Amino acid sequence: MKEKIKKALSFIAKQLFFYFPFVVLYTVASEFVFSYKYGFSVKSISEIYKILFGSIGFTAILSGLSFRASSSTENREKKTIFNMAGERLFHATILFIISTVLQYTITNLVSKYSLNLITFIICTILIIPASLFFTYGLIYTSRSLILLHRILFIGWEDPLK
């Protein structure tokens, strides 16, 4: 009985570790993309910055941990996978930083100048790459979390395989 409970808890923990990042990534992406429907209010802008700074911190920490795991392991295959995941997370951090700079530019344009046609066109042009950089950062983060999951839980059946 004790072994069944232990096995069930292990299965639940592995499922949560695998599916929880996707739920978080979906929530963050939907909040980032759909926050523009509220306009450029102080609340929506502060929420966007919270999301961006949180994304930068999350990916930077995981990137550092992946590089540290890569340097401390002796297994050549694991070292390569940890290194690849760290590189993807570092790239995602850079994409989030670029998205933050573009978002900051949009916010300053809207706050300093009234929302006339030229400002609207410039903001629209800047929102597209900001959203794309953020989306690609989320994709890189998701792929690197899948790589880390596969290396940390070797032998567990991966639903994405």
Please write the tens of the pLDDT for every residue from 58-105.
Answer: 999 999 999 999 999 888 988 999 999 999 999 999 999 998 888 888
pTM beyond 0.95: no
Whether the predicted pLDDT of 36 surpasses 60: no
The amino acid that residue 62 corresponds to is L
d(CA 55, CA 102): 15
d(CA 13, CA 1): 18
What's the pLDDT score for residue 55? 86
d(CA 157, CA 155): 6
Using an 8 Å Cβ cutoff, are 106 and 126 in contact? yes
What's the pLDDT score for residue 148? 87
* pLDDT band at 117; cut points 50, 70, 90: confident
Q: Tell me the torsion sign for CA atoms 140, 143, 145, 151.
A: negative
